[in-house]
């Protein structure tokens, strides 16, 4: 029987990431196979989940995937797991605009999964019970079956809240612990390979302060997915190079799996190392090119891409990939020459330029159709007057004037991070296949 639990918070910064990662670590240490998930379009938290559990974390997002897509991804990735642990996003009920769309609550309802609510009780006692009561009654379709009290001042403080809560089960009370925070930068937490917290200490902290058996007893079987078999990988007849290093590291596991299901072999390569892979197409995801910009300017990969693009190789980039594939990137008044696939210049800014979900219609040389995703960047891209843009945006900022997806030859790049729930993966893989067969 498949088991699932959602770890959600009353608001951002309440400690749900620490609690989620700690529960994953403690259960894994017990010898359990824990399948991790993250609500929303987050690339960074899943890297920590994956490192902790030894299984690829999956994103669950009802805007980008729909309710059925969420269930399908959950069931097809669960396999031999003992439990699925889903880390929420923001506050439990925070969704798009004033709705619950894409919220942790919406994902919990889509799965039929119980919620453990993380509450920062610093500075309050009995009032915490009122807060939890409000969350419990706000949406009768969301089951808050347990509570974790975070930043508890003392055992007496925790007991006062337990007494006020009555029948609501408190499965954990965590004392304040500044040693277990994960460092962050402008786009979020540090990646898992930069981890400077003690995973063993985190597991011990959770084991000592959370009733793990109580957590396991709350987990239940999720709602079934549509009666479709999980699609197996096709026999690979085309190879796609995926840039993967410290500069390009934002990828959905479901996107890579979708490439394989369409008959593509994935070959990872590092632009920082100057790799030139023997492939039929390339994918440059987001990441932190700005942190490695001097190395990228000198990279052999950077100097070779323009010729490959002119030859017709399908090349697809997102956000950091867009910045890298432009003519130049200006950071702190210094101009760096980059791949020059597109007649556009990017400038790093100190101010956030765009954040949120996106939806557009793509009409490009290598794929077409509606694409949903999200954007999050601190840069602006100035295109030449004759630049061609492929995405007409219904939602989101894009590059300029409600348009995104600059293209040249068979190369396309956008600020939008796309999700395979809508992205025309078949079209892109077929474009790579046609390039190979020329």
CATH number at residue 44: 3.40.50.300
Find tokens 């010898």 and name the residue: 31
**Percentage of the residues of the chain whose pLDDT score is greater than 90:** 90
Among 151, 181, 216, residue at a domain's last position: 216
The verdict on 209 and 244 lying in the same domain is: no
Residue 82 lies in a domain: yes
pLDDT at 263 exceeding the cut of 70: yes
pLDDT at 337 exceeding the cut of 90: yes
Residue 393 lies in a domain: yes
User: Which position among 53, 249, 319, 432 bears the catalytic label?
Assistant: 319
- Report the number of distinct structural domains present in the chain: 2
Residue 230 lies in a domain: no
Per-residue model confidence (pLDDT) at position 185: 42
Please give the Cα distance from 192 to 207 (Å, whole number).
22
The verdict on 208 and 246 lying in the same domain is: no
383 catalytic per annotation: no
The verdict on 414 and 338 lying in the same domain is: yes
The verdict on 32 and 87 lying in the same domain is: yes
pTM of the model: 0.94
Range of the domain at 280: 236-435
The verdict on 180 and 301 lying in the same domain is: no
pLDDT at 282 exceeding the cut of 50: yes
Tens digits of per-residue pLDDT, 297-334?
999 999 999 999 999 999 999 999 999 999 999 999 99
pLDDT at 186 exceeding the cut of 70: no
Residue 11 lies in a domain: yes
Per-residue model confidence (pLDDT) at position 192: 57
Per-residue model confidence (pLDDT) at position 191: 54
Residue 223 lies in a domain: no
Residue 227 lies in a domain: no
Per-residue model confidence (pLDDT) at position 430: 98
The verdict on 247 and 204 lying in the same domain is: no
């Amino acid at each position: 029987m498949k088991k699932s639990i959602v770890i959600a918070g009353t608001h951002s910064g309440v400690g749900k990431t620490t609690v989620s990662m700690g529960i994953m670590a403690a259960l894994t240490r017990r010898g359990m196979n824990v399948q991790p998930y993250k609500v929303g379009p987050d690339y960074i938290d899943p890297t920590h989940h994956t490192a902790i559990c030894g299984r690829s974390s999956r994103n669950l997002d009802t805007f980008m995937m729909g309710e059925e897509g969420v269930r399908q991804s959950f069931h097809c990735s669960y396999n031999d797991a003992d439990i699925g642990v889903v880390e929420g996003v923001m506050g439990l009920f925070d969704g798009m605009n004033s709705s619950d769309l894409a919220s942790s609550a919406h994902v919990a309802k889509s799965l039929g999964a119980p919620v453990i609510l993380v509450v920062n009780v610093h500075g309050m006692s009995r009032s915490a019970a009122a807060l939890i009561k409000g969350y419990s009654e706000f949406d009768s379709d969301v089951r808050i079956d347990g509570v974790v009290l975070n930043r508890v001042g003392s055992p007496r403080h925790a007991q006062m809240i337990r007494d006020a809560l009555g029948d609501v089960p408190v499965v954990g009370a965590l004392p304040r612990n500044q040693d277990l925070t994960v460092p962050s930068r402008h786009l979020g937490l540090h990646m898992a390979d930069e981890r400077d917290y003690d995973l063993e200490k985190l597991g011990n902290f959770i084991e000592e302060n959370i009733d793990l058996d109580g957590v396991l007893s709350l987990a239940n079987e999720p709602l079934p997915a549509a009666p479709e078999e999980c699609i197996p990988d096709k026999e690979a007849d085309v190879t796609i190079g995926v840039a993967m290093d410290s500069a390009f590291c934002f990828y959905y596991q479901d996107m890579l799996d979708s490439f394989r299901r369409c008959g593509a072999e994935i070959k990872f390569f590092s632009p920082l190392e100057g790799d030139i892979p023997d492939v039929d197409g390339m994918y440059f995801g987001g990441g932190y090119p700005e942190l490695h910009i001097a190395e990228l300017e000198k990279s052999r990969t950077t100097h070779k891409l323009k010729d490959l693009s002119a030859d017709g190789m399908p090349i697809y980039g997102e956000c950091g990939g867009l910045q890298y594939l432009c003519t130049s990137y200006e950071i702190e008044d210094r101009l760096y020459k980059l791949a020059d696939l597109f007649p556009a210049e990017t400038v790093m800014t100190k101010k956030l330029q765009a954040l949120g979900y996106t939806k557009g219609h793509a009409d490009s040389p290598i794929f077409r159709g509606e694409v949903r995703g999200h954007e999050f960047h601190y840069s602006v891209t100035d295109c030449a007057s004759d630049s061609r843009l492929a995405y007409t945006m219904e939602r989101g900022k894009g590059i300029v004037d409600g348009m995104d997806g600059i293209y040249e030859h068979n190369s396309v790049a956008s600020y939008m991070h796309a999700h395979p729930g809508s992205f025309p993966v078949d079209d892109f893989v077929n474009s790579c296949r046609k390039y190979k067969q020329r």
